[in-house]
A and B are shown apart, each in its own frame.
Chain A
Amino acid sequence: NAGVMQNPRHLVRRRGQEARLRCSPMKGHSHVYWYRQLPEEGLKFMVYLQKENIIDESGMPKERFSAEFPKEGPSILRIQQVVRGDSAAYFCASSPGGVHEQYFGPGTRLTVT
């Protein structure tokens, strides 16, 4: 069973461009979580999705950030008009629901120049 997959692993964007980060959960997992880790800071929860539904987006910035988890395909975290402060590692985690542990992917490192 392959683990949580994230791509790209590294992404460089210029200020004002859009960044699209993809997360493929583990097989059979219908719950996806996105976390952000700013340089020298801890992991911060952003959003929790189930298939086609956003369950909790309390950690998402109010503007420029959006997330989706369609019926088919990976979950997407989209950042519009990126700024230098968006430079961070973005981690995705998945779980089948009803269990205690979440399984994390290797992360996408976004650099905004």
Chain B
Amino acid sequence: DAKTTQPPSMDCAEGRAANLPCNHSTISGNEYVYWYRQIHSQGPQYIIHGLKNNETNEMASLIITEDRKSSTLILPHATLRDTAVYYCIVRVARTSYDKVIFGPGTSLSVIP
């Protein structure tokens, strides 16, 4: 699985959009971009994933560049409850073998 690079920490004002970047310059054609988050002391939570098209769900939007070497997770209106560590993960999703390899992630602090 390709390696990802994320900033170690970010701040965001409450109510504003939080834009979390991720670099994955060695991504392969069959690798997906996944985002999970871990709120303090809780289990990780799946947020969203994508292959090459932009994706949106009730939690967030995922913007993947055309060359797929980087992506951005967007929380459109950050709240205090979005304070968490956000993990960008690149992996091949095979139906019979799909462990998740977590990096250090980005610690997002939403500030009142």
Please list the residues of chain A having a beta carbon within 8 angstroms of any beta carbon in chain B.
4, 33, 35, 42-45, 48, 55-56, 59, 89, 91, 93, 95, 97-98, 100-107
Residue of B nearest to A107 (CB): B43
B97 touches A56 (CB 8 A): yes
Which size class do B's interface residues fall under?
20 to 34
Q: Which of A44, A91, A95 contacts B44 (CB 8 A)?
A: A91
B45 within 8 A of A: yes
* Residues on the B chain within 8 Å of A93, using CB: 43-44, 100
B32 touches A100 (CB 8 A): yes
Please list the residues of chain B having a beta carbon within 8 angstroms of any beta carbon in chain A.
32, 34, 38, 41-46, 49, 93, 95-105
Residue of B nearest to A6 (CB): B43
- Distance in Å: Cβ of B91 to nearest Cβ of chain A: 9
Given known A-B contacts A55-B97, A100-B93, A42 and B44 have beta carbons under 8 A apart: no
Q: Is the interface of A mostly helix, strand, loop or mixed?
A: strand
- Distance in Å: Cβ of B86 to nearest Cβ of chain A: 12
* Residues on the B chain within 8 Å of A89, using CB: 41
- Distance in Å: Cβ of B34 to nearest Cβ of chain A: 7
Q: Which of A45, A55, A104, A106 contacts B96 (CB 8 A)?
A: A55
Task: Report which residue of B34, B49, B99, B104 has the largest number of chain A beta carbons within 10 angstroms of its beta carbon.
Answer: B99
B103 touches A42 (CB 8 A): yes
Listed from nearest, the 8 A-B pairs whose CB atoms lie closest are A104-B43, A101-B46, A43-B102, A98-B95, A45-B99, A104-B44, A91-B43, A100-B49
* Residues on the B chain within 8 Å of A107, using CB: 41-43
- Distance in Å: Cβ of A107 to nearest Cβ of chain B: 5
A102 touches B49 (CB 8 A): no
A-B contact pairs, 26 of them (CB 8 A): A4-B43, A33-B100, A35-B102, A42-B102, A43-B38, A43-B44, A43-B100, A44-B102, A45-B99, A45-B100, A56-B99, A91-B43, A91-B44, A93-B43, A93-B44, A95-B98, A97-B95, A97-B96, A101-B49, A102-B98, A102-B100, A103-B46, A104-B43, A104-B44, A106-B42, A107-B41
Residue of B nearest to A106 (CB): B43
